[in-house]
């Protein structure tokens, strides 16, 4: 890690508000990608990002190693998003009917629908990895950093995610060709 970056994280951990706001600027899109990957809903994902940052500020003293700060932020976002996801499932059926999960009915073409259901079938981590890659076009190292993965694990994860997506979408892909 870049020493200046490390210093920034250290300052944020010690309560430097400016440093923390700088981190918000650089990392909120990553966090958004992670939570969007889980929730597939922009408003909810944005709320999750807000909540995660507030929580991170309040519990920043728990981080010992500044290098792990991004990964820790990612973990908070993932947990928050997961909480929201679980709550959504327990909402009574009647409410679900009035408030459909699908947020973009305008784009609801057949392929889109299938893509979403294929994404939803993926494990959480795979979804987060995919969204990070395609939202932010991040390189593998940065993604690994944000998700707290060890060196080289991401390629396998992305590979597996793509395989399962491909298998589910094969008929639609065939149509496209």
Partner 1 sequence: MATMHDEIDSWLAGDLHGELSNNERNALHAHLVDCGACRKTHQETKAMNKILEETFAQQKPDPAFEQRILAGFRNRVPQRRGLVKLLVDLMRLRATQITAVAAVLLGLVQVGRMITGEPATAPRERERYVGEQFAAQPSQFPASRAAQSGALAKSDEVAAGRPQDLALKEPPPPAPAQSKDQRQGSAELERTIVTGSNIPTAAEEAAQAPAQEPAPALANRKLIRNATVELEIVSFDNAVQKITAFANEEHGYVATTDSEKQANGKLRGEVVVKVLPENLDRFLQKIRNLGELKNQTLSTEDVTKAYFDTDARLKNAHVMEQRLIDMLKTKTGKVSDLLQVEKELGRVREEIEKMQGELKYWDSQVQFATVTMSLAEKDMEEPAAFLIRERAQLALYAPDVEKIYNEIKSLASPKVQITNAQLNRDYSGRVSAQVNMLIAPEESDAVIGRVKAFGRVENFQTQTQRTAQGGNPAAAGSENARTKRDKVELNIAISREEQEQAFQQTSLRIRTSSVDEKAKELRALAEKQGGRIRSSTFSRDPDGRAVANVSLRVPIKNYAALMQSLYSLGKVENVSVQRQDRTDAQIDEANAPADVSIQVYSQGNIVSPETGLLATLRRTLAQSAGAIMWSLRMIGVAIAFLAPWAIAIIGVIWIARRVIRAKR
Are the beta carbons of 165 and 118 closer than 8 angstroms? yes
The CB-of-125 to partner 1 minimum distance in angstroms stands at 15
DSSP conformation letters of 107-152: G--HHHHHHHHHHHHS-HHHHHHHHHHHHH---HHHHHHHHTPPTT
Structure tokens at 106: 């305008």
Could you give the CA distance from residue 19 to residue 27 in angstroms, rounded to a whole number? Answer: 12
Nearer to partner 1, 44 or 93 (CB): 44
Nearer to partner 1, 48 or 93 (CB): 48
Nearer to partner 1, 91 or 173 (CB): 173
Are the beta carbons of 71 and 161 closer than 8 angstroms? no
Nearer to partner 1, 15 or 123 (CB): 15
DSSP state of 104: -
The CB-of-159 to partner 1 minimum distance in angstroms stands at 3
Nearer to partner 1, 97 or 106 (CB): 106
The CB-of-135 to partner 1 minimum distance in angstroms stands at 6
The CB-of-173 to partner 1 minimum distance in angstroms stands at 5
Taking CA atoms, 34 is separated from 27, 79, 162, 163, in Å, by 11, 10, 17, 20
**DSSP 3-state of 103:** coil
The CB-of-93 to partner 1 minimum distance in angstroms stands at 27
Contact positions toward partner 1, by CB under 8 A? 14-15, 17, 21, 24-25, 28-29, 32, 36, 42, 46, 49-50, 53-55, 57-59, 104, 107, 111-112, 115, 130-131, 133-135, 139-140, 155-156, 158-160, 162-163, 165-166, 169-170, 173, 176-177
């Amino acid at each position: 890690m870049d020493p200046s970056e490390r210093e920034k994280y250290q300052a944020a951990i010690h309560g430097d508000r400016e440093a923390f706001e700088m981190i918000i600027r650089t990392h909120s899109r990553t966090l958004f990608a992670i939570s969007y990957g889980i929730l597939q809903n922009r408003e909810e994902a944005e709320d999750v990002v807000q909540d995660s940052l507030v929580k991170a500020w309040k519990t920043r003293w728990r981080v010992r190693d500044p290098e792990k700060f991004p990964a820790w932020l990612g973990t908070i976002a993932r947990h928050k998003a997961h909480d929201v996801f679980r709550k959504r499932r327990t909402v009574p059926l009647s409410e679900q009917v009035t408030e459909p999960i699908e947020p973009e009915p305008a784009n609801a073409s057949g392929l889109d629908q299938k893509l979403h259901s294929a994404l939803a079938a993926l494990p959480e981590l795979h979804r987060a990895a995919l969204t990070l890659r395609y939202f932010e076009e991040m390189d593998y190292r940065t993604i690994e950093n944000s998700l707290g993965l060890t060196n080289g694990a991401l390629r396998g994860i992305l590979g597996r995610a793509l395989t399962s997506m491909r298998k589910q979408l094969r008929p639609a892909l065939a149509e496209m060709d």
